[in-house]
Amino acid sequence: AQSVKTSANVAEVSQGIDASKKIKGRKRHVAKDTLGLVLAVIVTAASVHDSTGGKRLLDELATSHPSVTKVWADGGYQNSVIQHGASRGIDVEVVKRSTTKGFQPQKKRWVIERTFGWLMQNRRLVRDYEALPQRSRTMVHWAMANKTSRELTGESAPTWRIETGDSDNPA
């Protein structure tokens, strides 16, 4: 899950305070496959505990992708999520943080962490501007579709410049 601040136009009922990160806003719960494609997104108030959001995410995942049988989750998801996943036919494995000091990416955790980094490269997702959580969820899907289409076309970043073949003769 990722907590983000909300703008002034977001109703108080759809936001909350994430006590661990001291952020007033919303929380995004995202499920991806090992290729990096987004399978499910749930947007809740930041005050919603990871376990509650995780259960809702597993429900969404089981409904929209019934072939998923294994999920890796971070330490914020507790035994109740593991039990809920088992009731939906999904094996939930909690991946613990590394005990070594310094930055040490872990393959299973890095897939989702880099996704949150990619989301933050989108201006509309740095802060949650959407009045409805459903719209915020859609913005996450749009951002990931944009990222995927850029990867497929070989475009590293959007550009407004016209490329010319001769650098000595600018257009």
pLDDT in tens, 60-91: 999 999 999 999 988 778 889 999 999 999 99
The per-residue pLDDT for 165 is 58
The per-residue pLDDT for 20 is 83
pLDDT band at 112 (very low <50, low <70, confident <90, very high): confident
Q: What is the rounded CA–CA span in Å between residue 113 and residue 72? A: 13
Quote the percentage of the chain above a pLDDT of 90: 40
Question: Average pLDDT, stretch 144-157?
Answer: 84
Amino acid at 43: V
Higher-confidence position of 106 and 138? 138
